[in-house]
Amino acid sequence: MKKSILVCLTLLTVLAFAVSAIEQSKDQNGRRKAIEKTTAQAALTEIERKNPNASAQLSAVEKEIEADLSVDKAYKHMTFLVEEVGQRLAGTKSIAKAAHYIRKELEGYGLDARIDRFYMYHSYPEYAALKVIYPEDRAIEAKPCCHILSTLEEGLTGELVYAGAGGYEDYESLQVKDKIVLVDMTWAPPRPEKARIALEKGAKALVIMNWGTSDNPVIQMGAIKSVWGNPTPESFKQIPQIPVISITRASGEYLKELCSKGKVKVWLRAEATREWVLANQPIGTLYGTERPEEFVLVGGHLEAWGKTAICNSSGNSQILELARVLAKHKDKLKRSIVFGFWDGHEIAEAAGSTYYVDTNWDKLAQHCIAYVNIDNPGIVGTSIPKSSGVPEVREFQKSVVKDVWGEEGDWSMAYKGGDESFLGVGVPYIGFSTGYTPEELERLNWASLSPWLHSEADTLDKIDKKLYEKHLHFFAVLITRLCNSEMVPYDLSALVGVSKSHVESLKELSEGIKPIELNSLMAKVQQLESAVQSLNKYKEEMQAHQIGSEKEAIDLINEASIRVSRELSPILWMEADKYNQDPYGYYLVGKPIPKLYIPITNMRKLKENQEEFHLWHTQFIRERNRVSNAIGNAIGHLTLTTKLLEELK
Ligand SMILES: [Zn+2]
């Protein structure tokens, strides 16, 4: 057992020493090491000059990579994308212009670059109008959402009802059948989910007022397709067929107040197209030196509304600068990196990243360590480091945030938004950007991604250059660690903990429903727990020099960790199966084991002698088998791995 491997086991906190130790173990690299050390020392001085907050926790390689980052080069890309390109919706010349610029840059850095072209189900905004017709006459400026059901030319009229954020709980005391619903733009639930729920509740149209303060003149653009990625014959029928328009915050507050005083009637008209367009999706690959088949996927959406500085020229430009610098240091990167600039993000609802998942499913399932999403870095006025992800990478995420930002910041479970197309295939999602303080967020009416999002007001001055630079450094360290960690940084105990608490929540939820049996599932989770503990014991033994063949042992542990994470992800977070996608912003992500939560919550509302009760019970049993089987597969991988590790001793 080489010393280098022992140190790598605690890589999350001491990677600096680990990388240095690995170098020491390779005599043939001694000369290179000496040169690198000198370069790293110079780099350290450079990074400290440029970023006085840089923590001493970074490794020499990380510091060297950081020191080569140029915020000015990144800003040049961002300025081009904002000023020379601007709004770039799928299927337009402007997104093709941005895609060609990106491919040329990636090729210039020596990456294997291409532009993927494929059909996406898209929509363009056409026309919208809104008028109050009772108790007074007043015209209100409006814009259509995309992927809506267009009204007829004569429009439609109806009673207007205010329904808060437009989530299920907001409709509890409301009757909205054949009425027009007014909601607040918040991210809980996001826009497509507001539309899906409004339609389910029987509303005939939806009006969304913007977030931000009352003086915010912006009308936010957006789509409501809800169905994630390109539709299939089945999901095509689930796209919400409802007219939806957007208005300013001030117009929304006026209407809300009018509704609080009595009956309000409005007339509205809304038109948007629905069509299939060809994508322009740049992809660049940088090959790793020691484990080239394994890779980190780094992505951010290229398709963008309005002036695009925050969302997402900031992210696109950071990815380009990261690609340039990481390519320069490619001889020090163990794993490969794939950079994706997703088309079809805004209107076709993550159709670009979903296409990537659909067409690289096996590769992602077997070899992708993590997906890193870069969107909205450096919004003026934000300050709280906010990570989103899945439990198995939570500790890893927190440790990198701590090393770069000096604090752990907030962590939350990644919801079905942004480009979280990976819950099914099970690749851990890692998202990060700074957010507003709770007080500021309340003042801005929960404009979590700024009041300027998706509009012409999303200009370069909305980016804080120092904050943007810090994000750039953070992502450089994060990606370098993912590339170079000998062991994949997954905490399987955290997954077991979540599985246990999910089954416990389901047991509570099903109390009093006689035919529901969950003890067998809990026993399976306990078996999983002890299998994970056995694997963790081997990890500890490796630290104590007890396993001989380090590379083989690490490969075994990595493969088991990846397989367990892939088995449990679709079970813990999805209603759809692992080859498919749940709707945008789906309310079930985060609920205990959605596939079991649904039959149980339905059975709770029924009596045992009702036919529907028996139907849901049948579904419950089958879904429990599916969950049990996935956990069983995870146990199988772990048991086999510990056996093989035992043989290596
Ligand atoms: Zn964005």
The CATH number of the domain holding residue 150 is 3.50.30.30
Ligand 1 centroid – CA 649 distance (Å): 49
Residue 54 domain-assigned? Answer: no
pLDDT at 23 over 50: no
Name the phi and psi angles at 246, rounded to 5: -115, 145
Q: Let me know whether 461 and 522 are in one domain.
A: no
pLDDT at 445: 87
Ligand 1 centroid – CA 22 distance (Å): 39
pLDDT at 35 over 90: no
Q: What is the DSSP letter of 474?
A: H
Ligand 1 centroid – CA 42 distance (Å): 36
Ligand 1 centroid – CA 145 distance (Å): 17
Q: How confident is the model at residue 648 (pLDDT cuts 50, 70, 90)?
A: confident
Domain boundary among 484, 508, 529: 484
Q: Let me know whether 440 and 554 are in one domain.
A: no
Half-sphere exposure (Cβ direction) of 460: Cα atoms closer than 13 Å: 15
Q: How confident is the model at residue 26 (pLDDT cuts 50, 70, 90)?
A: very low
Higher pLDDT: 636 or 590? It is 636
Q: Let me know whether 511 and 621 are in one domain.
A: yes
Q: How far apart are CA 576 and CA 589, in angstroms?
A: 11
Q: Tokens standing for 124?
A: 């363009």
Residue 59 domain-assigned? Answer: no
Taking residues 409-432, report their average pLDDT.
95
Domain boundary among 245, 273, 301: 273
Q: Tokens standing for 548?
A: 């001989």
| Diameter of the chain measured on Cα atoms | 85
Domain boundary among 214, 248, 273: 273
Which stretch of 34-48, 93-107, 307-321 has the lowest confidence by average pLDDT? 34-48
Mean pLDDT of the chain: 91
Residue 167 domain-assigned? Answer: yes
The H or E element that residue 333 is part of is none
Spell 518-549 as b/e; 16+ CB within 10 A means b: beebeebbebbbebbebbeebbebbbeeebee
Q: Tokens standing for 1?
A: 């057992």
**Do 612 and 509 touch, CB atoms closer than 8 A?**
no
pLDDT at 626 over 90: yes
pLDDT in tens, 373-388: 999 999 999 999 999 9
pLDDT at 56: 55
**Do 302 and 88 touch, CB atoms closer than 8 A?**
yes
Taking residues 478-502, report their average pLDDT.
96
Q: How far apart are CA 100 and CA 105, in angstroms?
A: 9
Q: Let me know whether 237 and 361 are in one domain.
A: no
Taking residues 282-295, report their average pLDDT.
96
Ligand 1 centroid – CA 375 distance (Å): 5
The H or E element that residue 628 is part of is helix 611-648
pLDDT at 176: 97
Higher pLDDT: 419 or 540? It is 419
Ligand 1 centroid – CA 251 distance (Å): 25
Residue 161 neighbours by CB distance under 10 Å: 19
- Residue 630 CA: distances (Å) to CA of 254, 497, 627: 52, 16, 5
Ligand 1 centroid – CA 420 distance (Å): 12
Ligand 1 centroid – CA 81 distance (Å): 14
Ligand 1 centroid – CA 552 distance (Å): 41
pLDDT at 350: 96
Bridge pairing between strands 143-144 and 244-247? antiparallel
Across-strand partners of 30?
Answer: none
Ligand 1 centroid – CA 453 distance (Å): 8
Residue 128 domain-assigned? Answer: yes
pLDDT at 540: 83
Q: Let me know whether 516 and 555 are in one domain.
A: yes
Residue 52 domain-assigned? Answer: no
- List of E strands, 287-439: 291-301, 335-342, 368-373, 384-389, 410-413, 429-435
pLDDT in tens, 337-387: 999 999 999 999 999 999 999 999 999 999 999 999 999 999 999 999 999
142 CB-near residues (< 8 Å, 6+ apart) = 128, 129, 130, 207, 219, 245, 246, 247, 251, 268, 270
pLDDT at 549: 62
Q: Let me know whether 105 and 229 are in one domain.
A: no
Q: Is the dihedral of CA 140, 143, 147, 151 positive or negative?
A: positive
SS (H, E, C) 516-580: CCCHHHHHHHHHHHHHHHHHHHHHHHHHCCCCCCHHHHHHHHHHHHHHHHHHHHHHHHCCCCCCC
Count of domains for the chain = 4
Q: Let me know whether 202 and 251 are in one domain.
A: yes
Ligand 1 centroid – CA 177 distance (Å): 33
Sheet with 205-209, edge to edge strand ranges = 138-140, 125-134, 265-272, 156-162, 180-184, 205-209, 244-247, 143-144
Ligand 1 centroid – CA 529 distance (Å): 38
pLDDT at 547: 59
Residue 538 domain-assigned? Answer: yes
DSSP string, 155-192: -EEEEEEE-TT-SGGGGTT---TTSEEEEE--SSS-HH
Residue 550 domain-assigned? Answer: yes
Name the phi and psi angles at 42, rounded to 5: -65, -40
SS3 (DSSP) at 265? strand
pLDDT at 543: 66
DSSP string, 400-453: HHHHHHSS--EEEE--S-TT---TTTTPPEEEEEEE--HHHHHHTTS-TT-TTT
Which stretch of 191-195, 463-467, 523-527 has the lowest confidence by average pLDDT? 191-195
Q: How far apart are CA 390 and CA 377, in angstroms?
A: 20
pLDDT at 565: 97
pLDDT in tens, 105-162: 999 999 999 999 999 999 999 999 999 999 999 999 999 999 999 999 999 999 999 9
Ligand 1 centroid – CA 346 distance (Å): 8
SS3 (DSSP) at 105? helix
pLDDT at 29: 39
Q: Let me know whether 269 and 282 are in one domain.
A: no
User: Helices 519-543 and 492-509 sit at what angle, rounded to 10 degrees?
Assistant: 170
For residue 194, give the nearest of 573, 586, 580, 597 by alpha carbon.
586
Residue the block writes with tokens 């149209």: 205
pLDDT at 32 over 50: no
CATH number at residue 508: 1.20.930.40
pLDDT in tens, 460-470: 999 999 999 99
Ligand 1 centroid – CA 311 distance (Å): 4
pLDDT in tens, 158-167: 999 999 999 9
Residue 246 domain-assigned? Answer: yes
Ligand 1 centroid – CA 388 distance (Å): 15
pLDDT at 172 over 90: yes
Q: Let me know whether 268 and 282 are in one domain.
A: no
Ligand 1 centroid – CA 492 distance (Å): 30
User: Which domain does 631 fall in, by range?
Assistant: 492-648
224 CB-near residues (< 8 Å, 6+ apart) = 145, 146, 147, 148, 191, 192, 194, 195, 196, 206, 240, 242, 244
Ligand 1 centroid – CA 417 distance (Å): 10
Q: Let me know whether 233 and 343 are in one domain.
A: no
Sheet with 410-413, edge to edge strand ranges = 112-116, 281-286, 335-342, 291-301, 368-373, 429-435, 384-389, 410-413
Q: How confident is the model at residue 407 (pLDDT cuts 50, 70, 90)?
A: very high
Across-strand partners of 134?
Answer: 265
Bridge pairing between strands 384-389 and 410-413? parallel
Ligand 1 centroid – CA 135 distance (Å): 39
Spell 173-203 as b/e; 16+ CB within 10 A means b: eeebeebbbbbbbbbebbbbbbbbbbbebeb
Q: Let me know whether 446 and 519 are in one domain.
A: no
Q: How far apart are CA 331 and CA 327, in angstroms?
A: 8
pLDDT at 548: 56
pLDDT at 603 over 70: yes
Ligand 1 centroid – CA 119 distance (Å): 21
Name the phi and psi angles at 289, rounded to 5: -95, -40
Taking residues 39-60, report their average pLDDT.
53
pLDDT at 446 over 90: no
Q: Let me know whether 175 and 309 are in one domain.
A: no
Taking residues 262-276, report their average pLDDT.
97
CATH number at residue 388: 3.40.630.10
Taking residues 175-180, report their average pLDDT.
97
Q: Give percent of the chain above pLDDT 70.
A: 90
**Do 559 and 293 touch, CB atoms closer than 8 A?**
no
**Do 410 and 386 touch, CB atoms closer than 8 A?**
yes
pLDDT in tens, 533-571: 999 998 888 767 655 568 889 999 999 999 999 999 999
For residue 488, give the nearest of 557, 391, 568 by alpha carbon.
557
